[in-house]
Amino acid sequence: MVVATQMSPIRTEKIREIKIPTIDLSDKESKVSKLIVEACEEYGFFKVINHGVPHHIIKTMEDESFDFFHKTLPEKQRVGSANPFGYGNKNIGLSGDTGELEYLLLQTNQKAIDHNSKLISNTPSTFSSIISGYVEAVRGLACEILGLMANGIGVPPSLFVTLLTDHDSDSLFRLNHYPPVTDTSSSSSFHGGNTPIGFGDHSDPQILTLLTSNGVPGLQISLGNGVWVPVNLDPQAFCVIVGDLLQVMTNGRFKSVRHRVMANISSRERRLSMLFFGGPPPQTTITCPPQLLKPNKSPLYKPFTWADYKSHTYAHRLGETRLDHFKLP
C-alpha cells in the first residue's frame, strides 16, 4: 500500500509500508534457515529477535555511547577525525558526503579498541571491556546468522563463518548519533529531496551488517525504483543488512540492500544506532564458490580481494553502485 508520495525536483519517491521479515532465532521448530534465505533473496534485509545477545550488553553500550556524544565537541575531537576511523561530525567518508549526524567509527581488533578507549573514556579499561563485550557478542550473532544462511543455501557453514572469525578479519564498529534537527532551513543535507538526510542512500560494502537502534525512527530500506520502506525497530531486535560481498559470494542471489536514514526531524529524542560491519581478512578473494553457481549461470562478478574492494569503495562517494565496476561483461 502506498501511503505517501514525496515529489522532488530530481525524482519521484514513494514511501511504502510493508511487513519486513522478522525471524525468531529461538524458534527451533520453524525453518529459520529457509526464512533467512527468502528474506536475503527478496529484500537483503530482515530483523532478528530472541537473538541471544544479552539485553544488558546492548543497554550498557548504548549508555556509554550517549555519554560520549554528550561531551563537548573538543572532547569528542580528541579521538581524532574519521580519516577513516575516529569521530566524524556531518561529514561521511573522504569524498565530500554529508549527513545530519555525528559518529564514532572504530576498528574491532583489541589493539584498536584499547587505543581508542583511552581517547574516548575517562575509565578506559571499563570502556574497553564494554565495547569488546558488545563487539564479541554481536560478532557471535553474525556468525550464527551466516551459518544459518550457509545451511539454507547448501554450503558448509565454515565457508562463510571463518571469514569473520579469522584473527585478521576486518570488521568495523560504528556508533551513529542523530540529534533532533530543529532548523531544517539551515541544513545542507537535502540530497535533492524535501527532508534533510541523516545518512545518504548506499549499500554496505562488507559481508553483512548487524544494526540496533534506540527505537527512534529514521532508517529506510530501498525496494528499487524510488520506493522506500521505513523500518520500525524495536530496541530488542537487530536488523541484518546483506552487504556487497555476500551478493558477490552468492552470485547475485542475495541482494545487498540500499538503505538510508532520514534526518531526525520528527522526534524530540536523539536517535542512536550501533552497527557491526562484518568484513573478511583483507587478502581474502571474494568470488562465488563453484557449488553456488547454478547450472547455466556464469559468474556475474570478476574475483577481487577485500583489500581491492575497500580501496575502490573509499575512493568513491557513499551512493556509488560500486559493484558495477566489478561486473563481468
Ligand X SMILES: O=C(O)CCC(=O)C(=O)O
Ligand Y SMILES: C=C1C[C@]23C[C@@]1(O)CC[C@H]2[C@@]12CC[C@H](O)[C@@](C)(C(=O)O1)[C@H]2[C@@H]3C(=O)O
Active site residues: 271
> Which residues are paired to 305 by β-bridges?
285
Nearest to 114 by CA among 136, 130, 95: 130
In this complex, which beta carbon is closest to ligand X, that of residue 257 or of residue 292? Answer: 257
Binding residues for ligand Y, rule CB under 6 A, total 17
How far apart CA 142 and CA 172 sit, in angstroms, is: 13
**Per rule CB under 6 A, is residue 102 in the interface with ligand X?**
no
**Per rule CB under 6 A, is residue 81 in the interface with ligand Y?**
no
Candidates 25, 137, 275, 286; binder of ligand X (CB under 6 A) is: 275
Question: Which positions ≥6 away from 22 have C-beta within 8 Å?
Answer: 46, 47, 48, 49, 237
**Per rule CB under 6 A, is residue 12 in the interface with ligand Y?**
no
State the DSSP code for 301. B
**For the CA atoms of the chain, what is the radius of gyration?**
19
Candidates 64, 97, 204, 244; binder of Fe ion (CB under 5 A) is: 204
How far apart CA 133 and CA 56 sit, in angstroms, is: 11
**Per rule CB under 6 A, is residue 211 in the interface with ligand X?**
yes
How far apart CA 280 and CA 116 sit, in angstroms, is: 22
Candidates 65, 171, 273, 313; binder of ligand X (CB under 6 A) is: 273
CA 13 to chain centre: 22
**Per rule CB under 6 A, is residue 204 in the interface with ligand Y?**
yes
In this complex, which beta carbon is closest to ligand Y, that of residue 152 or of residue 278? Answer: 278
How far apart CA 324 and CA 155 sit, in angstroms, is: 26
In this complex, which beta carbon is closest to Fe ion, that of residue 64 or of residue 204? Answer: 204
Q: Which residues bind ligand X (CB under 6 A)?
A: 174, 176, 199, 204, 211, 213, 219, 259, 261, 273, 275
Q: Which residues bind ligand Y (CB under 6 A)?
A: 84, 92-93, 95, 97, 105, 172, 174, 202, 204-205, 277, 313-314, 316-318
